[in-house]
Copies of this chain bind each other. A is one copy, B any other.
Amino acid sequence: MKIQDKHYHTIWLKVGDKRVVQVIDQRKIPFQFEIFDIATVDEACFAISEMVVRGAPLIGITAAFGMYLAVLNSDGSDFENYIARNAEKLKATRPTAVNLAFAVDEISNFILKNKSRNNLHELVFEKVESMKLQEVINSERIGEFGLSLIEAIYARTKQTVNILTHCNAGWLACIDWGTATAPIYKAHLQGIPVHVWVDETRPRNQGARLTAFELGEQGVPHTVIPDNTGGHLMQHGMVDFVIVGSDRTTAGGDVANKIGTYLKALAAADNGIPFYVALPSSTFDFTMSDGIREIPIEQRNVVEVAEIEGIIGGQIQTVRIISEKSPVANYGFDVTPARLVTGLITERGICKANKESILDLFPEQKQIKTQW
Contact = CB atoms under 8 A, between A and B. Distances in A.
Nearest to A319: B310
A226 B332 CA distance: 10
Task: Tell me how many chains of this kind the complex includes.
Answer: 2
A331 interface: yes
A260 B229 contact: yes
A120 to B, nearest CB: 44
A229 B30 contact: no
Given A228-B259, A267-B262, A267-B266, A212 B308 contact: no
A108 interface: no
Contact of A334 (B224, B235, B328): B235
Contact of A216 (B205, B236, B325): B325
A160 to B, nearest CB: 14
Interface residues of A, number: 64
Nearest to A195: B327
Interface in A186-206: 197-198, 200-203, 205
Contacts of A226: 202-203, 227, 259-260, 305, 330
Interface centre among A30, A205, A232, A258 (most CB of B within 10 A): A232
Given A208-B321, A308-B308, A224 B266 contact: no
Contact of A329 (B31, B202, B223): B223
A29 to B, nearest CB: 9
Interface string A237-275: 000000000000000000000111011101100100000
A320 interface: yes
Closest CB pairs A-B (n = 5): A228-B260, A310-B319, A232-B334, A30-B323, A202-B226
11 contacts: A30-B325, A201-B228, A202-B226, A222-B327, A225-B330, A228-B334, A232-B333, A309-B319, A310-B321, A311-B320, A312-B312
